[in-house]
Amino acid sequence: MSQAADAVEREAMEYDVVIVGAGPSGLAAAIRLKQLAEAAGTEISVAVLEKGSEVGAHILSGAVIDPSGIQDLLPDWKELGVPLETKVSRDKFVMLGPQGSLDISFLPFPKWMLNHGNYIASLGNVCRWLGAHAEGLGVEIYPGMAASELVYDDKGAVKGVVAGVFGIGKDGEPGPDYQPGIELRAKYTFIGEGVRGSLSKQIQAKFGLTDGREPQKFGIGIKELWQVPDANFEPGLTQHTSVGPWITPPAAVVSCTISGTIMCPSALWFT
């Protein structure tokens, strides 16, 4: 950001913990902090910033979810109504080729490829539920508030973030509708931006967190939402399809997972 925008005086709000990102990790952290404070008989102020217009707006929708995390966080999650309803009933493995498809589910696939005990759900809805639950515990959630920069104290430690800056032009200079945003200061700042977050990259660079480490690895993921005719719909079916070439070394192997529900995540991995 430009020096002009940097020099602006901002209002500040103080919290014990500021969490950037209302994804599964940010919301779970907020809930856990409130649980720990309650168990210790103390109060803790927790704010969560979410750049999406609402909690869940930026969460990729369909997912096959291992419930062990939610089980640890909220052991009575079923009674509480966490929207994990469709249990995986079976995994089907299919190879696709020019001649058609071949069901290879009879092969002994390793356990980690099977979804027994997992649930097919909308991760966005799970986040909406977690957000409402966190608010019920007293967490303050601010949707539509992107954290755009980190704030450091005199010793160089992170002491919060700047959020809600609007009206910066393409040239990086404040435009006519510029709003300087607000500083959210905290004893602890938790960055839960998901992969390749802009603040995470700043922190990695400033504190050399990736120095001497293996580079991060990425795949390309595409999600599709399919409306499946009732006749083809099998609740709980998780179908894995793979496309060759199978004989020559696989320059481009496409593998996708189709969950038998109207929410159908699929992902492509190019190797």
**Binding footprint of ligand FAD on the chain (CB under 6 A):** 20-26, 49-52, 58-60, 63-65, 123, 146-147, 192-194, 197-199, 221, 223, 265, 267
Shortest distance, CB of residue 21 to ligand FAD, whole angstroms? 3
Closer to ligand FAD by Cβ: residue 199 or 243: 199
Q: Which two tokens stand for residue 27?
A: 């919301």
Comparison of 220 and 247: residue with beta carbon closer to ligand FAD: 220
Which residues does 199 contact at the CB level (< 8 Å), separation at least 6? Answer: 20, 147, 149, 150, 161, 191, 193
Using the minimum distance from each CB to ligand FAD, give the nearer residue, 187 or 201: 201
Least distance to ligand FAD, CB of residue 161, Å: 8
CA distance 258 to 207: 40
Least gap, CB of 24 to ligand FAD (angstroms) = 4
CB of 98 to ligand FAD, least distance (A): 27
Peptide bond into 265 cis (omega under 30): no
Residue 121 has phi, psi (to 5 degrees) of: -155, 170
Q: Which is nearer to ligand FAD, 87 or 223 (CB)?
A: 223
State the nearest-atom distance from the C-beta of 253 to ligand FAD, in Å. Answer: 16
We find the least distance from the C-beta atom of residue 64 to ligand FAD, in angstroms, to be 4
45 versus 259: smaller Cβ distance to ligand FAD: 259
Cα–Cα distance for residue pair 115/91, rounded to 1 Å: 7
Can you state the percent helix, strand and coil of the chain, rounding each to 5? 20, 30, 45
User: Quick check: 15 and 184 in contact, CB under 8 A?
Assistant: yes
Q: What is the DSSP string of 56-102?
A: TTTS--EEEE-THHHHHH-TTHHHHT-S--EE--EEEEEEEETTEEE
| Sign, Cα dihedral of 7, 9, 15, 19 | negative
Minimum distance from CB of 223 to ligand FAD (Å)? 5
The residue among 8 and 267 lying less far from ligand FAD, judged by its C-beta, is 267
Residue with tokens 């969950």: 259
The answer to whether 260 and 236 are in contact (CB under 8 A) is yes
Cβ closest to ligand FAD, residue 183 vs residue 193: 193
